[in-house]
Amino acid sequence: MANISAAEVAKLRKMTGAGMMDCKKALSETNGDFDAAIELLRKKGQKVANNRADREASEGVVLAATSTNNKIAYMVSLNCETDFVAKNEDFINRAQDILDVAVKNNPANIDELKQLKLSNDLTISEMIIEATGVIGEKVELSFYDKVEGGTSGFYIHSDKKVGTIVAMNLEGVEDEIIKNVAMQATAMVPVALDENSVPQDVIEKELEIGKELAINEGKPAEMAEKIARGRLGKFFKESTLLNQTFVKDNKSTVKDYLKSVNKDLTATAFKRFSLRD
């Protein structure tokens, strides 16, 4: 068996992100052959991944960042099975590495992101498989999305379990303004930006519920449609971001808040993700 130095172990750890003992064992079993050791770690990760494929990876971290010009905001969620692992610094660093790759390469979707390479020349998909082997839990990249506008920003809750990215129509919008809107979306869980962007199937479902409630309340069938339409207006106010009451000033809506900053300012897109919903 080859005599493996600490420097060689550290080199393999840097290349793969695997634990020190896993790297030492892999190098020992492959007589110091780095390529073979990397392949061994990948096979171990794939075996663990296959064995844990049916496990629920409901813990993890949600992270976000913006492009250097602040026009694009990105958000990712790297999942695992336990909160203990989710709070581990190495696990959080893996999620941060994925986010950094997203910001640098601006992939269109999660599948493109998974195929991009990290600084150690592994693709993100390969890193996730290796992480599964090292950690011994199912690890998966469950979410990636981005928004783009004149200015974009984000808010991530302190527990890193939920966050929102938001795009504004104008350039040079202060971080605090965008953060306030992102916090609103994070806390109040809007279904869409405004009434015009609510999916038609959601509208139809709300109308159906409204009519059923009206009929159950004893209202005539011919009135139920009008009553349902009225309730739909209330739904838009409570469930669309720009029409919601602004949590920091319950006398105005989010739309009003943005116009108080600049009469032409509005949000144009947002994406919210939570590990708890």
| Phi, psi torsion values for 189, nearest 5 degrees | 50, 55
Same domain flag for 167 and 199 = no
Confidence (pLDDT) at 188: 96
The total of structural domains in the chain comes to 3
Indicate whether 202 belongs to any domain: yes
Confidence (pLDDT) at 241: 98
Identify any residues that bridge with 167 across adjacent strands, giving them in sequence order.
Answer: 152, 269
Same domain flag for 161 and 80 = yes
Q: Assign residue 257 the CATH number of its domain.
A: 1.10.286.20
Confidence (pLDDT) at 49: 59
Question: The tokens of 13 are what?
Answer: 């750890």
Same domain flag for 73 and 174 = yes
Indicate whether 238 belongs to any domain: yes
- Domain limits for position 77: 59-185+268-274
For the chain, how far is it from start to end, CA to CA, in angstroms?
51
Confidence (pLDDT) at 14: 75
Same domain flag for 177 and 72 = yes
Confidence (pLDDT) at 236: 93
Specify the pairing of strand 140-148 against strand 151-156: unpaired
Q: Is 202 left (phi over 0), alpha (psi -120 to 50) or beta?
A: alpha
Please say which residue of 16, 31, 51 terminates a domain.
Answer: 51
Confidence (pLDDT) at 132: 85
Confidence (pLDDT) at 252: 95
Spell out the per-residue pLDDT of the chain, length 277, in tens. Answer: 567 888 888 888 777 766 778 888 888 888 888 888 887 877 776 666 566 667 788 999 999 999 999 999 999 999 999 999 999 999 999 999 999 999 999 999 999 999 999 987 889 998 898 888 778 888 999 999 999 999 999 999 999 999 999 999 999 999 999 999 999 999 999 999 999 999 999 998 988 888 888 888 878 777 887 888 888 888 999 999 999 999 998 899 999 999 999 999 999 999 999 998 7
Indicate whether 174 belongs to any domain: yes
